[in-house]
Structure 1
């Protein structure tokens, strides 16, 4: 990764993260097909919903006979974290038009958000529409194609978790976190390690008391607050 903010750089920087989209996309397609959805519906869901976690929730709730309103509310709560991510990226795109910001925000994901935060360390805190849009699009297309292929495979893979496909996203985020900590020279290294530990502790405790569809949002808000306090008190 370097300071280049061109379309070509956006594609190149995103390629290492695509294994996560491919692995989980295939797994989702296989699970959804086993749940009775057609390849067309699986592809349309990836095209319109475009959220791995939300799509797995939709399939499981459909199978359990949940109401339409319950499904909508669950997906909304699960995806509420994107509001925080969008607001974090927005200040770096103030020079772009409203139309361009809507385009970027509509396709922003956990992975392209993390990639953007890491890219800022190389570009003097600047992001271009061309770079982020190309990153979003290549990720979007990869997710759609992977889930469609997974749906086509169907029952050929009875238990995709045996192949470790469920760990693809986790492994990718571990890699992104490592790169972020190494590249970010604007924040004290010890502070970053402390916040990683604090976040892990919050998630561990939150799993006991907080519904999973709210956990990430709550941990993000509490973690950010604690981070500000710790930084000003000790660093």
Structure 2
């Protein structure tokens, strides 16, 4: 059996790779700027220094984990509690990385490490759609992740700079940017009724589990449950 390996073209950070990446990552950038701004404002009001606020976006780069960490710090939680909670929240990255791993055979360890560090929910959705269309172009793929993090860091810096002028970010409606971006990314991946079923089941399960008190585990359990349901329905309909 012939296994089609991903090509390594575009490995250089060439201008054409950047152009292709910018065209695809634009919806993510539009979502990251306002949400990163909100994080920057909230982090400073929680008591984080401007330097630590920006460093968290550079070194952690996990929007939900950063916002949760800020909330826990504001509530006076211990560093161990913050680390444990954000670890559980980010366990879903194991599922996302495992899903994309078959498409990245042949990549060097440094490239895989860099790709994994900058992988987020939004870039995962975009890469999933891209990888279904053919072998990933290395340069374009890495540029997508780099531009996405650059937008998040830029939003954070803007939030830090404007924190004294913004009393509360909630009236600005910035929290709507992230769900709107996810809707745009998910719609592009729908290929049939089974995908609609998986999406609706995951949403319903996540809401039910959250209401039942599952906390940060609700997303992970809902993802596994919806994937299992969609796989079972797909296998049954094929028979």
* TM-score normalised by the chain length of structure 2: 0.88
In the alignment, which of 21, 33, 46 is matched to residue 22 of structure 1? Answer: 33
* Alpha-carbon distance, 1:196 to partner: 2.2
Judged with a 3 Å threshold, the aligned counterparts in structure 2 of structure 1 residues 226 and 210 are, in CA distance, closer, same or farther, namely farther
| Cα distance between partner residues in 1 of 2:101 and 2:213 | 29
CA deviations 1:104-147 (Å, max 9, x no partner) are: 111111111000111134x33x2122121000000111111111
| Cα distance between partner residues in 2 of 1:86 and 1:64 | 32
Is the contact between residue 202 and residue 225 of structure 2 (CA under 8 Å) also seen in structure 1?
Answer: no
| Cα distance between partner residues in 2 of 1:153 and 1:20 | 18
Residue correspondences, number: 224
In the alignment, which of 176, 184, 189 is matched to residue 185 of structure 2? Answer: 176
| Cα distance between partner residues in 2 of 1:194 and 1:220 | 12
| Cα distance between partner residues in 1 of 2:97 and 2:200 | 25
1:59 corresponds to: 70
Report whether the alignment pairs 1:219 with 2:236: no
* Alpha-carbon distance, 1:210 to partner: 3.9
Is the contact between residue 198 and residue 227 of structure 2 (CA under 8 Å) also seen in structure 1?
Answer: no
Is the contact between residue 26 and residue 150 of structure 1 (CA under 8 Å) also seen in structure 2?
Answer: yes
Is the contact between residue 24 and residue 165 of structure 1 (CA under 8 Å) also seen in structure 2?
Answer: yes
2:121 corresponds to: 110
Moved over 3 A (4+): 4-7
Q: Which has the higher helix share?
A: 1
1:87 corresponds to: 98
| Cα distance between partner residues in 2 of 1:61 and 1:199 | 26
Partner of 2:164: helix, strand, or coil?
helix
- Structure 2 unaligned segments of length 5 or more: list them: 1-8, 11-16
Over aligned residue pairs, what C-alpha RMSD do you find? 1.6
Is the contact between residue 28 and residue 150 of structure 1 (CA under 8 Å) also seen in structure 2?
Answer: yes
* TM-score normalised by the chain length of structure 1: 0.90
Partner of 1:180: helix, strand, or coil?
coil
1:196 corresponds to: 199
Is the contact between residue 10 and residue 134 of structure 1 (CA under 8 Å) also seen in structure 2?
Answer: yes
Judged with a 3 Å threshold, the aligned counterparts in structure 2 of structure 1 residues 172 and 85 are, in CA distance, closer, same or farther, namely same
Is the contact between residue 104 and residue 129 of structure 1 (CA under 8 Å) also seen in structure 2?
Answer: no
Judged with a 3 Å threshold, the aligned counterparts in structure 2 of structure 1 residues 60 and 19 are, in CA distance, closer, same or farther, namely same
| Cα distance between partner residues in 2 of 1:198 and 1:157 | 38
1:8 corresponds to: 19
| Cα distance between partner residues in 1 of 2:125 and 2:213 | 24
* Alpha-carbon distance, 1:11 to partner: 2.4
* Alpha-carbon distance, 1:199 to partner: 1.7
- Structure 1 unaligned segments of length 5 or more: list them: none
Is the contact between residue 43 and residue 147 of structure 1 (CA under 8 Å) also seen in structure 2?
Answer: yes
* Alpha-carbon distance, 1:204 to partner: 2.3
